[in-house]
């Protein structure tokens, strides 16, 4: 699956993330990011006039050990993410506003 960087996963899902502020356990510092809140590593950048999600730890070696790196869907390895496709096409636009979560501090209690 090819992530389209809509940021949905980094906000909506509870996920184990690398966290330098957490206690070290088995040689790694990690915490659980609650569902409905923007990950502390998430920011929004603009490329070619489009706002996309940016993971601040995507390139550190330890990232490869995280659930984020292993996240996948049924389908061809290079197929675009179906959720991300619907969001970037605007079909979920009324449900998901990346900037509101990342920069506005919005939380989704339904997650």
> Which residues pair with residue 32 across a beta bridge?
16
Among the listed ranges 23-31, 76-84, 92-100, 103-111, the one in contact with ligand SF4 (CB under 6 A) is 76-84
By CB under 6 A, residue 102 contacts ligand SF4? no
Task: Kindly write out the interface string for residues 28-67 of this chain, putting x where it contacts ligand SF4 by CB under 6 A and - elsewhere.
Answer: -----------x-xx----------x-x-x----------
* Token digits of residue 98: 């990346």
Q: 13: buried, middle or exposed (CB in 10 Å: 19+, 13-18, 0-12)?
A: middle
CA trace torsion 14, 101, 10, 46 (10° rounding): 180
Q: Which residues bind ligand SF4 (CB under 6 A)?
A: 3-10, 15, 17, 39, 41-42, 53, 55, 57, 68, 81, 83-84
């Amino acid at each position: 699956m090819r992530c389209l960087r809509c940021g949905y996963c980094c906000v909506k899902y509870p996920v184990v993330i690398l966290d330098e502020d957490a206690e070290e356990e088995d040689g790694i510092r990690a915490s659980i990011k609650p569902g409905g809140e923007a990950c502390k590593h998430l920011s929004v950048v603009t490329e070619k006039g489009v706002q996309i999600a940016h993971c601040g730890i995507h390139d550190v070696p330890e990232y490869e050990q995280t659930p984020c790196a292993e996240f996948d869907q049924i389908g061809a390895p290079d197929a675009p993410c179906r959720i991300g496709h619907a969001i970037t096409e605007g079909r979920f636009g009324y449900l998901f506003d990346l900037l509101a979560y990342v920069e506005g501090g919005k939380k989704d209690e339904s997650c």
